[in-house]
Amino acid sequence: MSHYTKKKGNKVTRMDIWVQEFRNERQDNGVTQEALAVYAGISREYLSRIENGRVPVSEDLKETLTEALKKLKPDAPLFLLIDYVRVRFRTTDIRHIVEDLLQIKMQYMGHEDYGFYSYSEHYYHGDIFLMVSPDEDKGILLELKGKGCRQFESYLLAQGRDWYNFFHECILEDAVMKRLDLAINDRVGLLDIPELIQKCITGECISICKGFEDYGSGALIPTREQHKVEMGKTLYLGSKQSEVYFCIYEKAFEQYVKNGIPIEDADIKNRFEIRLKNERAFQAMYDLLAYRDAERTAFAIINRYMCFVDAVPGKDRYDWKENAKWLYFIGEHRERLRLTTSPKEKTVDDAYKWLHHQVSPTLKTMMEIDRLNGTKIIENMVEGAKLSEKHQKTIKQQTTSIDDMII
């Protein structure tokens, strides 16, 4: 193994080249010894001795240190998103909400004469939904789920606005915030969800939440390779009926099941969702506007409701120290988080996925039969298809640039 010679006073030591390169990489990336030691499962003092060539380092420990450093590199291992918005406006003027608040031209909105949540009709643009009622007490309900938030962000960016601008305009409209979800995405696996679940079981979660539930433990899901793998873990803290609860889950497994993305290749490993309803959602929106610091808002809520600690036999549980990995997650020795946008332009992804998985094999079979038989059944079928008003609206939405649709 390659070494270089290091002089320290009159003492000459031999240091592993790997150690030198590793230390340089850690320092170049601004990762502290404290944070690295936590994720490597060793003390900071021991890591210091390794980096100074005072103790040998095994191949297994090198692998552990490398994986820990990979998690802590500052290429946004954590990022924060608005992931669900449901807000009610005290008006029945749909054009006002669409054109003045969303700033989308009304002609590009689709319409259906049925609604959800007891509303009588709804307007939509991709995954942006507006439920409408003639009853002013119900008004107009805007709902943006995950995809809807990402789509709306693309319009906000094109309009030169952001979420803070939008929420401010909601306040001016005297809107009622019904739900607001903040999602902290973990790209590298900083959160160890099975470990958090175990801490809940052993009483190492100090929380004002009345209970917790966990799912996925021991369950198996079929994979696309026709064998089974363990399903991802999910931890719920708090009651789903309350105005605030938390969902922490291994998102990489979800993406594998939905989209066939290998777990090791998933862009997001874990997700920590703060789900707020009614008064709690409204307070969070005000806090976002007051400080324009989404990290402050998100972690103030988390710190109020929970803390993960390490048990110390013989001590009162309220005297147990906070778990080091948990401390890093909530901000100790970690770079600040900003409210990130992850805009997605309008797409017909769902239709394409359905065609790819459900239709394309049958379609290819029928086209091959046409070819061999010298017939044009599929071609004639497509040419004779009737497009509804909804289909025409979808074509219009998907073939018009964002700049042409926004106001």
DSSP track, 206-245: EESSS-EEEE-TT-EEE-TTSSEEEPPPEEEES-TTSSEE
pLDDT of residue 402: 81
Domain region containing 360: 349-405
pLDDT of residue 206: 93
Task: For helices 146-158 and 163-172, give the axis angle rounded to 10 degrees.
Answer: 90
Same domain, 208 and 308: yes
- 91 inside domain: no
Q: What is the pTM of this model?
A: 0.77
- Hey, how many other C-beta atoms are within 10 angstroms of the C-beta on 113? 7
- 119 inside domain: no
The C-alpha torsion from 111 through 112 and 113 to 115, rounded to 10°, is: -110
367's CB contacts (< 8 A; 6+ apart) are 378
Same domain, 306 and 275: yes
Q: For residue 151, count CB atoms less than 10 angstroms from its CB and return exposed for 0-12, middle for 13-18, buried for 19 or more.
A: buried
Beta carbons of 270 and 191 less than 8 angstroms apart: yes
pLDDT of residue 232: 82
pLDDT of residue 223: 47
pLDDT of residue 92: 95
CATH, residue 32:
1.10.260.40
Low-confidence ranges of the chain (pLDDT < 70): 1-15, 74, 76, 216-231, 259, 344-358, 393
Same domain, 355 and 319: no
Same domain, 290 and 215: yes
Q: Measuring CA to CA, which residue among 198, 258, 206 is closest to residue 233?
A: 198
- 148 inside domain: no
Q: How far is the C-alpha of 406 from the C-alpha of 308, rounded, in Å?
A: 46
- 272 inside domain: yes
Same domain, 212 and 303: yes
- 7 inside domain: yes
Beta carbons of 317 and 309 less than 8 angstroms apart: yes
What is the enclosing helix (H) or strand (E) of 328?
Answer: helix 324-330
Same domain, 295 and 396: no
Own/partner contacts of 317-320, CB < 8 Å, gap of 24 or more, are 317/203, 317/204, 317/206, 318/206, 320/204, 320/206
Beta carbons of 242 and 185 less than 8 angstroms apart: no
Number of folded domains that form the chain: 3
Q: How far is the C-alpha of 177 from the C-alpha of 114, rounded, in Å?
A: 23
Which SS3 state, helix, strand or coil, does residue 214 take? strand
Q: How far is the C-alpha of 65 from the C-alpha of 46, rounded, in Å?
A: 12
Which amino acid is it at 94?
I
Copy the structure tokens of residue 345. 């332009």
- 166 inside domain: no
Same domain, 260 and 378: no
- 207 inside domain: yes
**Listed residues 277, 296, 330: the one ending a domain:** 330
C-alpha of 299 from chain center: 15
Same domain, 190 and 285: yes
**Ramachandran category for residue 374: left, alpha or beta (phi over 0 → left; psi -120 to 50 → alpha):** left
Copy the structure tokens of residue 352. 């394409």
**Listed residues 330, 363, 385: the one ending a domain:** 330
Same domain, 285 and 371: no
Q: Measuring CA to CA, which residue among 240, 235, 217 is closest to residue 271?
A: 235
Q: How far is the C-alpha of 220 from the C-alpha of 136, rounded, in Å?
A: 48
**Listed residues 72, 97, 126: the one ending a domain:** 72
Same domain, 199 and 288: yes
- 390 inside domain: yes
Positions of E strands within 323-365: none
Same domain, 198 and 265: yes
Same domain, 315 and 366: no
